[in-house]
Chains A and B, each alone.
Chain A
């Protein structure tokens, strides 16, 4: 089954304790990205990757790191979590769209979400 798998689904941690949320897709998608969802703010993009070894900042990258060493995996790293990073996180992937002289994300397939609480 084509899917995006993220783990853990739920996590409670404490301020400053490094954590990693994993994301894996089995669709051979080039584009992968992370979002956080907060009430009233919609989803905001944290980081994205157009392909292996190519990553770039989204709109809210502060406090997060990512890496793309393999095409299928795109982990999100919180080096020193703080309470303001308490949120619902989604990983998503897509084929790359190329048209009209530009490239970017196409239809996104989302993971089920990871609810993170930082105390």
Chain B
């Protein structure tokens, strides 16, 4: 069995400040983990993925995430938020089944 918990449903940051979106997972095996982003009225786009190589994963648009097995966490970070980062972000754990978190809406204030 697997599950994903995104700890914040909404996060609000000022433009130029750091972003932290939190994700905890549960899995009976070593999972593949992903972050996807969905802009309003758009489809889903991959930000980054972890599949058991380096624990610090770099993705597109300056995002990165760190896999911490001891904490069962896979938090998403970005050093400096941009207005275009305003979107909904989904943490995903994948085996044969794919399980999405409930999403975190990121608001970026000018």
Measured CB to CB, the residues of A under 8 A from B are 33, 35, 40-45, 48, 50, 56, 58-59, 90, 92, 97, 99-108, 110-113
Contact = CB atoms under 8 A, between A and B. Distances in A.
A110 to B, nearest CB: 5
A40 B95 CA distance: 23
17 contacts: A33-B98, A41-B102, A42-B100, A42-B101, A43-B100, A44-B100, A48-B96, A48-B97, A58-B98, A90-B44, A97-B94, A104-B97, A108-B34, A110-B43, A110-B44, A112-B43, A113-B43
Most chain A CB within a 10 A radius of its CB, from B98, B99, B102:
B98
B44 A104 contact: no
B32 A104 contact: yes
Interface of B: 6, 9, 29-30, 32, 34, 36, 43-44, 46, 49, 51-52, 90, 94-103
Contacts, number: 72
Binding site secondary structure of chain A = strand
A108 B31 CA distance: 15
Contacts of A42: 6, 90, 100-103
Closest A-B pairs by Cβ, 7 of them: A42-B102, A104-B95, A42-B100, A43-B100, A110-B44, A104-B96, A105-B94
Contacts of B46: 107-108
Contacts of A90: 43-44
B102 A48 contact: no
Nearest to A111: B43
Nearest to A56: B96
A58 B97 contact: yes
A92 B90 CA distance: 15
A67 B24 CA distance: 33
